[in-house]
Amino acid sequence: MAKSVRASVKIDVEKSEIRTFARPEIPADAGLLRVESSGVGGSDPEMYRKENSAPCIMGHEIVGTVETLGESAARRWGLKPGDRIALHEYLPCWKCEWCLKGDFRLCMETDFFNLKDRFNTLRYGTCNAEIAPHLWGGFAEHVYLAPNAVIHRVPEGLDARVATLAIPLGNGVQWAVYDGGAKFGSRVLVFGPGQQGMGCALAAKAAGAAIVIIAGMSRDRARLDTSLKLGADVAVDVQSQDLAKAVMAATGGRGVDVVVDTTGDPTGEIAAQAIALSAKGATLSLNGLGQSVPIGEIKKRYLTVRAPRGHSYTAVAAALDLCASGRWPVELMCSHDFGLGEVHEAVLATAGRAIDGALHVTVNPWK
């Protein structure tokens, strides 16, 4: 067994290098994961651009095989070496009100919006690699399984790259179905045909939505076409088509019951469109920070507005089941796979830079 672990470390703004760390001693309540594949998340390009956060091992969509496991960790998690698992990025306290209620995403230990010092707070893929035992990110050969990690078993035989979709598809389940309320017979509109948007379209369709419309830009043509194979019934290029006309045509002039914005639009333009295209009683699941919403219009249409926050345990479990079901060609989302020395290219590809056509990009540390 190698005594050292190689990792790609973000050392400056959009700059990475391979560094070697000592293989950590594993206490009784922890473990060590041999990474099979790590997805590049939709938020990673922003993380990669961030100043004053180096050094950091990024990568928070982690799938791997348990290699070493302490005795009490094995008992607590019901795992043994050789088991395959997928991780959440959160490292919650498991003691607070939110953790006890099962909403560990809102735990103060892991809540991005409340953390005083995000960089020095432990969370997979975003924290300071100088904090022992250093292996806090998926772009590495091994990841430290902290006692408070949130773990899912990977369904048997599921390809590791497909299993990394558990996080973006988990967001889809959370934002479109659990928060947006998409269900049997719903008419759903999704803004943004990226990995999260496609996850929303698929989750809504799998939940029984009657019509799923996905909206993107002209540059998203390939993504819009892929969406049509992954749950969307109608794909609209908003730069060459009239979105309002397309939505009204697809819904018999009634408007939609659920709108999910995955674009993070800061202007409020999408919120305004979402309201205008909603049927009475619709739910809007809006992701843009800094959007303002007109309460009068919301009242008039009797709308519910939600702002989704990451993914719950149930959402990720449902996403893994969705991947394993074989009912949807989710592997179409796995567009590019890079080696450990190519994390820079992998993150830029996810940002739509350097390489065209990236959808969900993965890093294989053993490539």
The contact set with Zn ion (CB under 5 A) reads: 92-93, 96, 99, 107
How far is residue 286's CA from residue 283's CA, in Å, rounded to a whole number? 9
Neighbours of 72 (CB within 10 A): 13
DSSP 129: T
CB of 311 to Zn ion, least distance (A): 16
Q: What is the largest CA-CA distance in the chain?
A: 65
* CB of residue 24 to Zn ion, shortest distance in Å: 24
Tokens standing for 212? 């799923």
Residue of minimal Cβ distance to Zn ion: 107
Beta carbon of residue 27, minimum distance to Zn ion (angstroms, whole number): 21
Min dist CB 89 to Zn ion, Å, is: 15
What are the two backbone dihedrals, phi and then psi, of residue 361, each rounded to the nearest 5 degrees? -105, 140
Q: Which is nearer to Zn ion, 93 or 248 (CB)?
A: 93
For the bound state, the minimum distance from the C-beta of residue 91 to Zn ion, rounded and expressed in Å, comes to 10
Alpha carbons 238 and 150: distance in angstroms, whole number: 39
Nearer to Zn ion among residue 77 and residue 90 (C-beta): 90
Which of residues 106 and 135 has its CB atom nearest to Zn ion in the complex? 106
Using only C-alpha atoms, what is the Rg of the chain? 20
The number of residues making up the chain comes to 367
Q: Considering beta carbons, is residue 99 or 330 the nearer one to Zn ion?
A: 99
Q: Which CB sits closer to Zn ion, 99 or 270?
A: 99
Sign of CA dihedral 274, 280, 285, 291: positive
Taking the complex as a whole, how short is the minimal distance between the CB of residue 313 and Zn ion, in angstroms?
13
93 or 293, CB closer to Zn ion? Answer: 93
For residues 181 and 197, give the distance between their C-alpha atoms in angstroms, rounded to a whole number.
15
Residue 357 has phi, psi (to 5 degrees) of: 80, 10
Tokens 């982690």: give the residue.
62
CB of 90 to Zn ion, least distance (A): 9
* Residue among 110 and 283 whose Cβ is closer to Zn ion: 110
On whether the CB atoms of residues 94 and 150 are closer than 8 A, the answer is no
Kindly state the tokens that stand for 103: 């909403």
